[in-house]
Amino acid sequence: MLIPCPWCGPRDEAEFHYGGQAHVAYPADPAALSDAEWARYLFFRDNPKGPFAERWSHAAGCRRWFNVVRDTATNEIHAVYRAGGQRPVSP
């Protein structure tokens, strides 16, 4: 798979580190959450067959984290955008 790093351009997947689902923010006030809400943050992630917004880090390159919308069935990459950015509207 070629992953288009926003800083380095398309590079081989072996240079990257996978970071799981994107847009799962660390809760602003963990102490205010119930056990169930905290457990949801800790342990629950989506696992779709199809487009999935996920985090990648160019670990063996520029070492920057960024987000990718990748089709988990075909590895097609629909979008690449900065960490903390809004997920682009689906194509």
Partner 1 sequence: MTRQPFRRDGHRGETLRFRFDGRDYEGYRGDTLAAALLANGVRAVATSVRLGRPRGVFAAWTEEPNALVQIEHPFPEPMLQATTVELYDGLVARGLPGKGRLSGEADPARHDGVYAHCDVLVVGAGPAGLSAALSAAGSGARVVLADDRPVPGGSLPDTAETVDGLPGAEWAAAALAELDGHPEVRVLARTGVLGYYDDNYLVAVERRGERASSRERLWRIRARRVVLATGAHERSVAFAGNDRPGVMLASAARAYVNRYGVLPGRRAVVFTANDSAYAAARDLAAAGVEVAAVVDVRRGGGRSWDGSEVLAGHLVTGVDGPDGVSSVTVSPDPGGGPAGGREIEADLLLVSGGWNPVVHLFGQAGGRLRYDERLGALLPAATRQAVEVAGAARGLSTLGRCLADGAAAGARAAEAAGFRAGRRPAARAEDVAAAPAEHVWLVPAADYRGHFVDLQRDVTVADVMRATGAGLRSVEHVKRYTTAGTAHDQGKTSGLLTSGVVAHLLGVDVAELGTTTFRAPYVPVSFATLAGRDRGALHDPVRVTPLHGWHVARGALFENIGQWKRPRYYPRAGEDMPTAVLRECAAVRRGAGAMDVSTLGKIDLQGPDAAELLDRLYTGMMSTLPVGAIRYGVMCRPDGTVFDDGTVTRLAQDRFLATTTTGNAAAVLDWMEEWLQTEWPSLRVYCTSVTEQWATVALAGPGSRAVLAGLAPGLAVDGASFPFMTWRDARVADIEARVCRISFSGELAYEINVSAWDGLALWEAVQGSGAVTPYGTETMHVLRAEKGYPIVGQDTDGTVTPADLGLGWALSGKKADYVGKRSHARPGDLRPDRKHLVGLLPDDPDRLLPEGAHLVATARLPEPPVPALGHVTSSYRSAALGRTFALALVSGGRERVGERLYVPVGAEQVPVTVTRHVLYDPEGARRDG
Can you tell me the distance from the alpha carbon of 76 to that of 91, in angstroms, rounded to the nearest whole number? 12
Three-state SS for 20? strand
- Please enumerate, as own/partner, the contacts of 41-50 that have beta carbons within 8 Å and a separation of 24 or more: 45/20, 45/21, 46/21, 48/72, 49/73
58 binds, among partner 1, Zn ion, none (CB under 5 to 8 A by kind): Zn ion
Nearest distance, CB of residue 52 and partner 1, angstroms: 15
83: partner contacted, choices Zn ion, partner 1, none (Cβ within 5-8 A by kind): partner 1
- Does 39 sit near partner 1 (CB under 8 A)? yes
User: Looking at beta carbons only, is 46 or 76 nearer to partner 1?
Assistant: 76
In terms of DSSP H, where are the helices of the chain?
35-43
Site residues, partner 1 (CB under 8 A): 1-2, 12-13, 17, 19, 25-27, 29-31, 33, 35, 38-39, 41-42, 55, 57, 59, 63-65, 74-76, 83-84
